[in-house]
Structure 1
Amino acid sequence: MTHLDLGDLGRIGVTLDVRADGGHLDDAAMLESLGYSTIWIAGGQLATLDPLRDVIRATEKIPVGSAIIPAWGYTPEDVIALHRSLDAPGRLITGLGGAHGDRPLHTMNAYLDTLDAADPPVPPGARMLSALGPRMLELSRDRAAGAIPLLVTPEYTAQARQILGAEATLAVMEYVVLESDPQLARNTVREPIGFLTGVGGYPQNLRRMGFTDEDITGTSDRLLDSLVAWGDIDTIAARVTSHLDAGADQVVLVVRPTDPNTVPHTEWRALAEALIR
């Protein structure tokens, strides 16, 4: 499948939280000016798909990705309508996932069939899948531009690259806490990661990576230390490099400030200065 051309844009993406006051649109413009290569918007925040269009309009050239549009929350027709409403459809990376239930592969294949049949279609080269297991990674390779896994280790990244092959795009999402105090750093992400470890295919994939049920249900320090880049800039840079060396095309920074009531402007600037060249 078509490889998304991320190489010319840089290898560091970043997630953006949607804010009720609309401040995320100014944040998007700032992230573009800092040199991040892609802005990704988390699907859990998407009460509608409008923020994807709004962020594209608030920026100039930067690609904007959905991470992810959940199949259980939005129909293929919703995604088709979004693409038709865009002034610059080529800037949207349609990240899809959330095909839960007994037959997730069947569900996602049917979803992609509808996108293919649209007029105009939502092209495979403009969509990525939130794949974790081997078969969903194969589907990402065969029917999309690649995969956007979350809660994974660099060792997983290397295995995913083997399955995807050289042509598919692999954008690894990485939680980041710019904090060297171990307990403060861990506690900053314990709640959101604890929630995710009970959703969809995450528990099974964590077991495949060697974590115990106790690690998963208790959101153990071992689990957090393996899945989260926390510490000083050099420590985080080393973690990002390990994913890139393992085969990631892009590392997407999911930056979490230690104060949940703040927007991580300071962290975004510091990380951009250290990681973007």
Structure 2
Amino acid sequence: MNRMRLSGVGIWSSQLRYGDPAESAEAAAELDELGYPALWIPDVGGKVFDAVESLLAATSRTVIATGILNLWMHSPEDVASSYARLTGAHGDRFLLGIGVSHAPLIDAREPGRYRKPLAATESFLDGIDATEQPVPVDRRVLAALGPKMLSLSAHRAGGAHPYLVTPDHTASARSTLGEGPLLLPEQTVILTDDADEAREIGAGWLRSYLAMPNYANNMLRIGFTEDDVAQVSDRLLDAIIAWGDESAILRRVDEHRQAGADHVCVQVLLSDAKAYPREEWRRLAAALT
């Protein structure tokens, strides 16, 4: 397959997805100029393809990726037609990240809907492949943590986008994927030398994710204890979130690369979760791009 050879360090940002559209477009244009090869946005409801289109229109070189498109919130037909429309208008700069999300989020709207995540992902991909203009296999990646979903990523997609992981997980994921598929982990960072500040910002953010069974179980699988997860221990926080100056962030990114990552997408946390970390993106660009 002619895989999208995504490399370097990108930006993962909820602000670009759910913040003010005009500011998101302006920020995306600057990130493009700063040399970031990809911008990643989440999908937890709303018109995700409108956001993708706005970011594509604001940039000229940067890949726009969904990290991830929630398969329970879209039909395969709409996904395939939207992908064809956007790539037709903006060129080959859209990477479709697809994920199965989490039971508490999906079942809160429709109890009992979330079941058999692996089979649900396979069925969604089957639906895309059955459309008139299917998304090419090498232009889609799967949100994957465990070995079964990682294996599916290698066979039914161009690779995997693991979220909330360590470099050790990256090494294990590369072993499962093999040498061909893309491995595109997310790495959360906080630009501060103050350990108390880092833990104050990071612990609450992590706690919301660790309430999701997929993430909590993955922490246990990669060697953390139930107490680590329940208490959001310093050991767990320091392993998941890279904090410090630009050199500290670069060291963690390099650990992922040495472990087999093709591309690392960096998510910057601030004390104000809705604020755009534009100054931090500028600081990191000088060290990472």
TM-score (norm. length: structure 1)? 0.93
Distance 1:200 1:90, change over 3 A: farther
2:37 and 2:61 in contact (8 A); partners too: no
CA distance in 2, matches of 1:240, 1:269: 17
Query: Partner residue of 1:91?
Result: 93
Instruction: Specify the code of the residue in structure 2 equivalent to 1:142.
Output: H
Find 2:152's aligned residue among 130, 133, 139.
Answer: 139
For 2:124 and 2:54, the matched residues in 1 are separated by 24
Q: Aligned runs of 1:55-66 on 2, under 5 Å?
A: 55-66=55-66
The answer (yes or no) to whether the contact 1:83–1:89 under 8 Å persists in 2 is: no
Write out aligned runs for 1:46-195 (5 A).
46-86=46-86, 87-88=89-90, 90-98=92-100, 100=102, 101-195=114-208
**Could you tell me how far apart the structure 2 residues matched to 1:73 and 1:64 are?**
19
Please give the alpha-carbon distance, in whole angstroms, between the structure 2 residues aligned to 1:102 and 1:75. Answer: 17
User: TM-score normalised to the size of structure 2?
Assistant: 0.89
What are structure 2's unaligned runs of at least 5 residues?
103-113
Cα 1:76–1:155 change in 2 (3 A) is same
* Cα RMSD (Å): 1.7
1:213 Cα deviation after fit: 1.6
Native 8 Å contact 1:12 1:253 kept in 2 = yes
Q: Given the superposition, is the C-alpha separation of residues 178 and 45 from structure 1 closer, same or farther in structure 2, using an over 3 Å criterion?
A: farther
Counterpart of 1:270, as a letter, is R
Residues 78 and 192 (structure 1 numbering): CA distance in 2 closer, same or farther, change over 3 Å? farther
Q: Which amino acid aligns with 1:123?
A: P
Describe the shift of the 1:111–1:261 C-alpha distance in structure 2 as closer, same or farther (beyond 3 A).
closer
Structure 1 residue 120, shift from structure 2 partner = 1.0
Q: Does 1:271 align with 2:284?
A: yes
**Residue 261 of structure 1: CA displacement?**
5.2
Q: For the structure 1 residues 138 and 2, does the alpha-carbon distance in structure 2 shift closer, same or farther, using more than 3 Å as the test?
A: farther
Contact 1:80 1:118 in 2 (8 A): yes
Q: Distance in 2 between matches of 1:115 and 1:89?
A: 20
Q: Is the 1:2–1:168 Cα contact (8 Å) retained in structure 2?
A: no
Q: Distance in 1 between matches of 2:34 and 2:258?
A: 23
Q: Does 1:30 align with 2:30?
A: yes
Corresponding residue to 1:223 among 225, 236, 240 = 236
User: More displaced, 42-51 or 99-108?
Assistant: 42-51
Distance in 1 between the 2:130 and 2:167 partners? 36
Amino acid aligned to 1:13: G
Q: Separation in 1 of the partners of 2:96 and 2:187?
A: 19
The aligned counterpart of 1:5 is 5
Call closer, same or farther: CA 1:99–1:40 in 2, change over 3 Å: closer
Percent sequence identity over matched residues?
37
Query: What whole-Å deviation, never above 9, does each CA across 1:44-83 have from its counterpart, x for those lacking one?
Result: 3645431011111111121100000111222222312321
Equivalent residues of 1:99, 1:108 under 8 A apart? no
Deviates more, 1:35-44 or 1:194-203: 194-203
Corresponding residue of 1:255: 268
SS in 1 for 2:129: helix
- 1:46, 1:225 → 2: CA distance? 33
